[in-house]
Amino acid sequence: MTDRPILYTCARSRGLRATWAAEEAGVDIDLKILPFPPRYLAPDYLALNPLGTVPMLVDGETRMTESCAIAHYLATRSGYTDLAIAPGEPDYGEYLDYTYHADATITFPQTVYMRFAIFEKDKGWAEAGHAYAKWFHKRLVKIEERLKDREFLCANRFTVADICVGYALILAESVGLDDGVPESLKAYRKRLTQREAYLKAFEREEAGRKALAS
């Protein structure tokens, strides 16, 4: 048994937000990399998470399956750190807004695009997938406007909001959606992915993925 939080995820999935947040916050997690999709390739996982989705964080009696919530949790597990913004601090509301905006408004159309235009394109739904790609690109305007005169989204420092939004931009590059991403956001993404904690998180997930394949 371990008293470390256990993170179940697939390499390069939304769980990267949680792996990254753990590295930034210095939280020692037990990282469990699963084959994709786990509901089919790791059926025992369904006993832990009936949704069959990743990520999933297990921390004692706590069970969490939302990547942005897990990232915030890890950043505040032992009290507020600079990675999160506490009530009463400037940009507290904005911090919450951009953290939730990352998944609900930006990553959502990306996942629909991936399903219809990549994974199930042979079923005749590719056109719908590409429509969601346009939706994704149009909804980047809020982030673009926010970062016109800022290095980071909130409180003049790197926070979980940047992790959550940054992952959506990382995903865009990896699934063929980068043509519609503004150059300013590509520069923002480059800054984020040069961070030591991001590089460690990415390499840790890749090591787990390679171990599965061997």
Architecture of domain 92-195: Up-down Bundle (1.20)
Contact 103, 110 (CB under 8 A): no
- The two structure tokens encoding residue 158: 């790197």
Give the predicted TM-score (pTM) of the model. 0.96
Residues of the chain with CATH 1.20.1050.10: 92-195
- CATH for 6-81+197-213? 3.40.30.10
pLDDT tens string, the chain, 214 residues long: the values are 358 999 999 999 999 999 999 999 999 999 999 999 998 999 999 999 999 999 999 999 999 999 999 999 999 999 999 999 999 999 999 999 999 999 999 999 999 999 999 999 889 889 999 999 999 999 999 999 999 999 999 999 999 999 999 999 999 999 999 999 999 999 999 999 999 999 999 999 999 999 998 8
Beta partners for 33?
9
Backbone angles phi, psi at 92, to 5 degrees: -60, -50
CA angle centred on 19, ends 171 and 208, rounded to 5°: 90
Residues of the chain with CATH 3.40.30.10: 6-81+197-213
Q: Is 195 helix (H, G, I), strand (E, B) or coil?
A: coil
